[in-house]
């Protein structure tokens, strides 16, 4: 054994530090102690240790950070570091190994393990073996995550884009399909809000889906548009679902997206082809004889091609018009220009089976070597006529007000609902400019908007994202929603507007939004409480390990070295064991209090108790914690309060332990009790750190622990919740007066017992 090897122990817990020192000294090592990261660093530089034992959680920083600093300085770059910590989570261990520790010990540890680790590190600082250990540990740790690895390979190679985001929408992971789909590489989006993919200026359904997911809902397929890196838009079908951690808490969201742009394009091509279906074509000479027909003609009229060619064209004309037809024909041959036939007439045609149907015919002439021929493009408009009739019916039956406007902005047609909605007599609006329905403040821009629409007419809501208003005849305004669609009539396009009065809905929406906000706030609070609760549980398990380490270690030490230890030192060690036992006791009490709070069963039974007895009892209970403080008691004589003895004891114990914990050794803690008009006021006053104004309310919440300098003191955040809830359950109140840097005064106002 290299008895002159020096070990630097960096741990802020005095018990653990002392225990480690004794164990190492007994084995012949020279030990240096440090209680903070800063002290650890400077001791490492000026004592040149052979090994460093490092606690993870230090009052001024964490062990991993300190390790990096040690590595960065030439003098300490190669010193082997052993992490000694209560953190046993695989992720923590991995982080430590990756940061370059040579060993990892979890508290409570066995003295023999500690010595073995130190001996190995001293014996082989050149660390080829350490390197092997580290690799082995990392492999072992990653073994635990083999499923996760396989899973992530599946995700990575999936053909759908799979993106995970935090609940506030920050991208956490981004697979290859997402790269292909959106054109961003993972390193360009991870850490950024997923909303960079939302085309600007519109409502983003994905953002809304994320909110619902945070509340626990899985949002199945919906379609939305995303903007790619190159600025083009794609249509995607998306589903979003919550990701939960091992406790079942929702921590993130997973979004799966599939490109449906092609499907959309195909659909519209299809529609386009349908709309562009060629007409039936019939070519006739100046005698009216049919020369040529196409397949559509056969289909439309029910003749074979051969039955038509060579026949007089009148075969296709209904009997009642046949007589007049040759005259018309001749007329066209005299002035042959491309034009629709029979302007303003309702044209009809006759099928082979004698049935008659409405048509539209467009004529043009062709010069050939056989002379002039006329070609007629014949379109069956029965569908359209029927549709028109249906349309009229529809317009009048529509739930919305319908206004149809011609290309010049004149109203062509309105339904009864529109007249009623805008307050006009039936028929009064037709022929007037549509701007009469628009409030004056929007009137000027309106014709411009109309022209823009005409240039790119498609079905869409009007004024996306804008609040629209209609103007009644009497000058009053009302909120509306308008959906526009182009209406092809002949060569020109009219615009049909479906208008809905949304005043009622707007009011309902406002109410709903408020309700939604409240719900969201409530769910945020629940999440916060949940987070605090799991923090509490991990704090408790961490806090349990430290005194256990001390108890086990000191006891082992005494057993092994009983004879070699002097009487005085033995007593000191046993006292340490007792102290650690007390710390465990406190934690168990906190845990019990915690369960009582959670169950909401405080089991209060009130009785008359002299305040002096209560104070004395509490002081006896916390005597050890108050050892290093002056205690000053000033009670008005013969005060008797109406309290539950067990509950009030927890209140005082918590206040006194906090006072000791958050004020410097040697300072005074005062306990005062006075009778006020209708209450007995008992105050616990310390001259400690004080509590910032903005935290004074929050510290009474369950599990809440102040964020500032006191955050690293031992504790679970339950104490003051107990103080408040127990006091109130006894019909009392808690008041706090505190100034940062001067101290705090907690006052409990209790009900007096009437005698
Ligand atoms: P714990 O002490 O276990 O953290 P408590 O509920 O007792 O939980 O206290 C909550 C927080 O209030 C503490 O973390 C501390 O920051 C603050 N606090 C409580 N008492 C005092 C005090 N006397 N002086 C300063 N800060 C205090």
pLDDT digits (tens, 9 = 90+) for 549-575: 899 999 998 998 888 888 888 999 998
> Using a CB cutoff of 8 Å and minimum separation of 24, what contacts does 577-585 make?
577/550, 577/551, 579/15, 579/550, 579/624, 580/15, 580/546, 580/547, 580/548, 580/550, 580/551, 580/554, 581/547, 581/551, 582/624, 583/543, 583/546, 583/547, 583/714, 584/544, 584/547, 584/548, 584/551
**For residue 450, which phi and psi values (nearest 5 degrees)?**
-60, -45
Q: Residue 708 pLDDT > 60, yes or no?
A: no
Ligand 1 mutation pick, 719, 722, 724, 748, max ligand atoms within 8 A of CB:
719
Q: Residue 144 pLDDT > 70, yes or no?
A: no
**Cβ of 683 less than 6 Å from ligand 1:** no
- Give residue 713's Cα distance to chain centre: 32
Q: Residue 147 pLDDT > 50, yes or no?
A: no
Mark out the alpha helices in 48-199 (DSSP H runs): 63-72, 90-99, 111-123, 128-143, 146-157, 176-182, 186-189
Mark out the alpha helices in 276-324 (DSSP H runs): 295-301, 305-308, 319-322
Q: Residue 137 pLDDT > 80, yes or no?
A: no
| Res 145: pLDDT | 46
- The DSSP element (H or E) to which 421 belongs, if any, is helix 416-422
Q: State the distance from the centre of ligand 1 to the C-alpha of 720, rounded, in angstroms.
A: 7
Ligand 1 mutation pick, 533, 696, 710, max ligand atoms within 8 A of CB:
710
Asked if 257 and 158 count as a contact pair (C-beta separation under 8 A), the reply is no
Mark out the alpha helices in 562-629 (DSSP H runs): 567-599, 611-621
Cα–Cα dist 417/405, whole Å: 16
Interval 156-170 mean pLDDT: 82
Count the Cβ atoms, other than its own, within 10 Å of residue 490. Answer: 8
Q: State the distance from the centre of ligand 1 to the C-alpha of 549, rounded, in angstroms.
A: 25
Asked if 479 and 504 count as a contact pair (C-beta separation under 8 A), the reply is no
Tell me the pLDDT band of 146, cut-offs 50, 70 and 90: very low
- Give residue 379's Cα distance to chain centre: 56
Cα–Cα dist 742/689, whole Å: 6
Cα–Cα dist 176/124, whole Å: 45
Tell me the pLDDT band of 391, cut-offs 50, 70 and 90: low
| Res 490: pLDDT | 61
| Res 149: pLDDT | 53
Tokens of 362: 């467009």
| Res 11: pLDDT | 92
Q: Which atom of ligand 1 is nearest to the CA of 688?
A: 24
DSSP state of 304: -
Residue with CA nearest ligand 1 atom 2: 715
Indicate if the alpha-carbon torsion angle 44, 49, 51, 53 is positive or negative. negative
Interval 488-499 mean pLDDT: 78
Interval 32-41 mean pLDDT: 93
Asked if 436 and 419 count as a contact pair (C-beta separation under 8 A), the reply is no
- Give residue 127's Cα distance to chain centre: 46
Mark out the alpha helices in 27-75 (DSSP H runs): 37-47, 63-72
Asked if 484 and 460 count as a contact pair (C-beta separation under 8 A), the reply is yes
587-646 pLDDT, tens digit per residue, is: 888 888 878 877 777 788 899 999 999 999 999 988 888 989 999 999 999 999 999 998
Interval 729-738 mean pLDDT: 95
Residue with CA nearest ligand 1 atom 14: 705
Q: Which atom of ligand 1 is nearest to the CA of 659?
A: 23
**Cβ of 189 less than 6 Å from ligand 1:** no
**Cβ of 706 less than 6 Å from ligand 1:** yes
pTM over 0.75: no
Interval 729-754 mean pLDDT: 94
Q: Between residues 88 and 740, which one has the greater pLDDT?
A: 740
Residue with CA nearest ligand 1 atom 7: 719
> What are the Cα distances from residue 342, in Å, to 270, 325, 346, 359, 657?
32, 11, 8, 11, 103
Radius of gyration of the chain from Cα atoms?
A: 44
Q: Between residues 351 and 159, which one has the greater pLDDT?
A: 351
Residue among 696, 693, 703, 691 nearest 525 (CA): 703
476 prior amide bond cis, ω within 30:
no
Q: What is the mean pLDDT of the chain?
A: 84
| Res 713: pLDDT | 64
Which stretch of 59-63, 126-130, 281-285, 423-427 has the lowest confidence by average pLDDT?
Answer: 126-130
First to last CA, the chain: 75
Q: Residue 745 pLDDT > 80, yes or no?
A: yes
Beta partners for 241? 254
| Res 739: pLDDT | 94
Residue with CA nearest ligand 1 atom 16: 706
């Amino acid at each position: 054994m290299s008895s002159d090897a020096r070990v630097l122990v960096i741990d802020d817990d005095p018990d653990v530090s002392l225990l480690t020192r004794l164990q190492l000294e007994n084995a012949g090592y020279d030990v240096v102690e440090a209680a903070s990261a800063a002290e650890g660093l400077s001791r490492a530089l000026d004592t040149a240790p052979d090994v460093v034992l490092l606690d993870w959680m230090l009052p001024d920083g964490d062990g991993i950070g300190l390790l990096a600093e040690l590595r960065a300085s030439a003098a300490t770059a190669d010193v082997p570091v052993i992490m000694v910590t209560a953190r046993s989570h695989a992720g923590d261990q991995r982080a430590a190994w990756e940061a370059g520790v040579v060993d990892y010990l979890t508290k409570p540890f066995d003295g023999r393990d500690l010595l073995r680790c130190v001996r190995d590190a001293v014996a082989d600082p050149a660390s080829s073996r350490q390197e092997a250990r580290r690799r082995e540990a990392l492999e072992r740790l990653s073994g635990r995550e083999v499923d996760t690895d396989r899973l992530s390979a599946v995700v990575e190679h999936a053909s759908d884009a799979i993106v995970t985001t935090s609940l506030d929408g920050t991208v956490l992971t981004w697979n290859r399909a997402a790269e292909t789909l959106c054109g961003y590489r993972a390193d360009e989006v991870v850490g950024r809000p997923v909303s960079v993919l939302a085309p600007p200026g519109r409502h983003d359904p994905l953002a809304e889906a994320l909110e619902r997911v945070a509340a626990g809902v899985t949002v199945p397929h919906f379609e939305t548009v995303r903007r790619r890196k190159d600025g083009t838009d794609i249509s995607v079908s998306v589903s979003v679902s919550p990701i939960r951690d091992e406790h079942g808490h929702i921590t993130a969201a997973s979004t799966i997206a599939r490109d449906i742009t092609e499907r959309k394009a195909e659909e519209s091509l299809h529609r386009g082809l349908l709309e562009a279906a060629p007409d039936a074509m019939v070519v006739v000479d100046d005698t009216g004889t049919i020369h040529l027909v196409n397949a559509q003609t056969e289909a439309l009229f029910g003749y074979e091609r051969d039955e038509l060619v060579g026949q007089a064209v009148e075969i296709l004309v209904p009997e009642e018009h046949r007589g007049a037809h040759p005259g018309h024909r001749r007329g066209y041959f005299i002035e042959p220009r491309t034009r629709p036939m029979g302007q303003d007439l309702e044209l009809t045609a006759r099928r082979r089976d004698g049935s008659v149907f409405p048509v539209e015919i467009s004529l043009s002439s062709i010069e050939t070597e056989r002379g002039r021929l006329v070609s007629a493009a014949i379109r069956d408009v029965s569908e359209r006529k029927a549709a028109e009739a249906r349309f009229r019916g529809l317009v009048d039956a529509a739930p919305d007000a319908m206004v149809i406007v011609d290309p010049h902005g004149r109203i062509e047609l309105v339904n009864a609902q529109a007249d009623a909605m805008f307050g006009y007599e039936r028929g009064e609006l037709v022929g007037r400019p549509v701007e009469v329905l628009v409030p004056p403040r929007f009137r000027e821009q309106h014709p411009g908007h109309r022209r823009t629409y005409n240039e790119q007419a498609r079905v869409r809501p009007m004024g996306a994202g804008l609040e629209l208003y209609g103007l009644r005849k009497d000058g009053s305004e009302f909120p509306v929603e308008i959906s526009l669609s182009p209406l092809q009539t002949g060569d020109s396009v009219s615009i049909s507007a479906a208008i809905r009065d949304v005043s009622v809905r707007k009011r309902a929406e406002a109410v709903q939004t408020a309700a939604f906000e409240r719900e969201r706030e409530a769910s945020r609070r629940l999440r916060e409480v949940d987070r605090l609760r799991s923090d509490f549980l991990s704090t408790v398990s961490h806090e349990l390990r430290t005194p256990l380490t001390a108890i086990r270690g000191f006891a082992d030490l005494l057993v092994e070295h009983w004879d070699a230890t002097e009487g005085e030192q033995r007593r000191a060690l046993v006292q340490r064991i007792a102290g650690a036992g007390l710390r465990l006791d406190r934690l168990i009490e906190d845990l019990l209090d915690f369960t009582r709070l959670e169950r909401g069963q405080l089991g209060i039974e009130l009785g008359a108790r002299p305040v002096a007895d209560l104070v004395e009892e509490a002081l006896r209970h916390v005597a050890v914690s108050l050892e290093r403080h002056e205690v000053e008691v000033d009670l008005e004589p013969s005060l008797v309060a109406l309290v539950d003895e067990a509950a009030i004891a927890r209140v005082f114990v918590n206040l006194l332990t906090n006072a000791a914990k958050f004020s410097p050794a040697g300072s005074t803690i005062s306990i005062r009790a006075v009778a006020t008009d209708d209450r007995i006021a008992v105050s616990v006053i310390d001259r400690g750190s004080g509590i910032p104004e903005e935290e004074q309310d929050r510290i009474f919440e369950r599990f809440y622990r102040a964020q500032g300098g006191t955050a690293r003191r031992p504790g679970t955040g339950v104490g003051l919740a107990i103080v408040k809830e127990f006091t109130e359950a006894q019909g009392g109140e808690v008041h706090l007066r505190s100034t940062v840097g001067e101290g705090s005064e907690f006052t409990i106002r209790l009900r007096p017992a009437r005698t």
